[in-house]
Structure 1
Amino acid sequence: MSNSQYEKTTKNGVVRYRGRGKYDFETVHSIIDEAPILHVSFTPLDDDFPAILPMFGCMGLFPSDDTNSVGRTSSLYLHGYAASRMFRTSRGEDAGLKITVAATILDGIVLALTPNHHSANYRSAVVFGHAYLVTDEAERWWAMKHVTNSIVPERWENTRIPPTDAEAKATGIIRVEIETGSAKIRTGTTGEDRNDLKDEGLRKRVWAGVLPMWTRYGQPTPAPTNMTDKTPEYISRFVDDSNKQQEDYAMKVAL
């Protein structure tokens, strides 16, 4: 692993469409941070079958509060229920529980002239690492704040904090020291069979193109228990900025 990217190996190397592979920290880590859900795979102590869990998580470098340091961070923090199988398994692994984490962002469905050439525009990342249960209280509190604000910026500061002792004990934090990883990105329009492109009748009969796709946040809906007068500005700003950013990217890469 260099100072700026993961070394390409048989473990993390992109095999199909190798030109789409990316190994630099910034690309891999930014996809992990932007994906709404991470899928974490591990083998529990009490089962022969691998387990896979959807989890919240983000890149971070304790004790820094610099959330824009994706180019120099190497730790992935995961947030979950302290009594779950993954957290119980991590306690018994002094060398770190081996896990694989996948993140995917779908940016569009690509409809070609023939089903065999259909595809998708996407950004995906897979990292391999060793997971450690965070027991240091300073790091635990830092990570809880960091993960919360990675979901909606400024949310931690605008809630009832700190959590109660019972809430804190029920919350597990895992730090993943990444051994290696890679990203794979597809952009653009259709890639057609050369013979199909010569068939004007086919091209006039079958629509081909891209259906851009992005995550869009809707109008904030107050809870029945909510007593504030209006949606806070930091939430409205996040919704507007995120929606615009996601839409702009999906439309740009559809061309």
Structure 2
Amino acid sequence: MAPKHDLQYPKGAQNTLNRYSDRGSYDLEKVHKIVNSTPVLHVSFQPDPSDPFPAILPMIGQMGSFERPSSSISDPLDCYLHGYISSRVMNVSRAAIASGKPGLPVCIAASKVDGLVLSLTPNSHSYNYRSAVLFGYATPVTDTEEKEWAMEMITNSVVPQRYDNTRIPPIPAEMQSTQILRVTIDSASSKVRDWIPSDSAEDMANKEVVDKVWVGVVPVYETYGEPIPSPLNKVEKVPEYIEEFLKESNEEGLAYATAAGKRPLPVKAKTNHDE
């Protein structure tokens, strides 16, 4: 059997990692998994050439392919973002298309904190984390079928199976007020830290410091609490698909953060401590 070759984003001026490059990856699967597991994405763009400040918005989004819906997470995918029809990012995206551009240039950031890394010195403190950055061109989705497909995908990213367990399909007014952006990815990269604290050999050899400073990792993970029914709710029992999602997500988050806090230092980190 031929060895598997993971698809990677090409390195370019925007996405090439410099600082702690050994923590980085251009692997499509790693990038897409981080994006799809992050509840809120931060999308930055230039609202107007005359405005010296870039804009950055928290948005809900998911990686997927309308043209190839059976694509796996490791395949080339677009990023779909959900928003209001007349919001600034939507208006600027439409203006970019109208002017003949391939879309609005955007940068999308996804970040997850998995642990507080407490080291011997303030300078060596860090986080265990997963992060991904995408660069691409945003265009408004105008095809009704693609728009509904994206709305279903994004809704199910909140809670799997949620879309089919709501009042569907969306009514015309809902479709008209909602805009979906499709971001065609030009380049991307990810960066992950998932191991124990790293200190300099000099500090670790200092018995006075080692004997008085607690060193370790405090796991950090998202926890879903007990569902609180709305005053308008008429369904007596929380649906099984919601309960299963909450249980699995909480268990997976705890397991990942705990394992990351116990993982030994990679070879390069042993000679290049956090700072």
Which of 91, 111, 114 aligns to 2:118? It is 111
8 Å CA contact 1:41, 1:50 repeated in 2 = yes
Q: Give, in whole Å, the separation in 2 of the partners of 1:228 and 1:73.
A: 40
Aligned match of 1:235: 242
Question: Which portions of structure 1, spanning 4 or more consecutive aligned residues, are displaced by more than 4 angstroms?
Answer: none
Aligned match of 1:129: 136
Q: Give, in whole Å, the separation in 2 of the partners of 1:223 and 1:153.
A: 20
Deviation at 1:65, TM superposition (A): 4.2
Aligned match of 2:45: 42
Q: Give, in whole Å, the separation in 2 of the partners of 1:170 and 1:163.
A: 11
Deviation at 1:48, TM superposition (A): 3.6
User: Where do 1:80-229 residues align within 5 Å?
Assistant: 80-94=83-97, 95-229=102-236
Q: Give, in whole Å, the separation in 2 of the partners of 1:187 and 1:82.
A: 39
Query: Is the counterpart of residue 76 in structure 1 residue 91 in structure 2?
Result: no
Deviation at 1:112, TM superposition (A): 0.3
Runs of 5+ consecutive residues of structure 1 not aligned to the other structure: none
Aligned match of 2:13: 10
Q: 2:152 is aligned with what amino acid?
A: K
Q: 1:61 is aligned with what amino acid?
A: S
8 Å CA contact 1:63, 1:142 repeated in 2 = no
User: Which string of whole-angstrom CA distances, capped at 9 and with x for unpartnered residues, describes residues 190-247 of structure 1?
Assistant: 1012111111221111101101100111111111110101100000000000111111
What is the alpha-carbon root mean square deviation over aligned residues? 1.4
* Count of paired positions: 253
SS at match of 2:261: coil
Q: Give, in whole Å, the separation in 2 of the partners of 1:149 and 1:48.
A: 37
Q: 1:36 is aligned with what amino acid?
A: P
TM-score by length of 2: 0.89
Q: 2:46 is aligned with what amino acid?
A: T
Q: Give, in whole Å, the separation in 2 of the partners of 1:234 and 1:23.
A: 34
Which of 29, 52, 59 aligns to 1:55? It is 59
Residue 110 and residue 224 in structure 1: after superposition, are their counterparts in 2 closer, same or farther (change >3 A)? same
Deviation at 1:11, TM superposition (A): 1.5
8 Å CA contact 2:103, 2:139 repeated in 1 = yes
Q: Give, in whole Å, the separation in 2 of the partners of 1:3 and 1:104.
A: 22
Deviation at 1:9, TM superposition (A): 2.2
Runs of 5+ consecutive residues of structure 2 not aligned to the other structure: 263-275
Deviation at 1:165, TM superposition (A): 1.1
Q: Give, in whole Å, the separation in 2 of the partners of 1:83 and 1:10.
A: 32
Percentage of identical aligned residues: 46
8 Å CA contact 2:6, 2:74 repeated in 1 = no
TM-score by length of 1: 0.96
Q: 2:20 is aligned with what amino acid?
A: Y
SS at match of 1:121: strand
Residue 30 and residue 48 in structure 1: after superposition, are their counterparts in 2 closer, same or farther (change >3 A)? same
Q: Give, in whole Å, the separation in 1 of the partners of 2:6 and 2:223.
A: 35
8 Å CA contact 2:6, 2:27 repeated in 1 = no
SS at match of 1:123: strand
8 Å CA contact 1:59, 1:73 repeated in 2 = no
Residue 111 and residue 3 in structure 1: after superposition, are their counterparts in 2 closer, same or farther (change >3 A)? closer
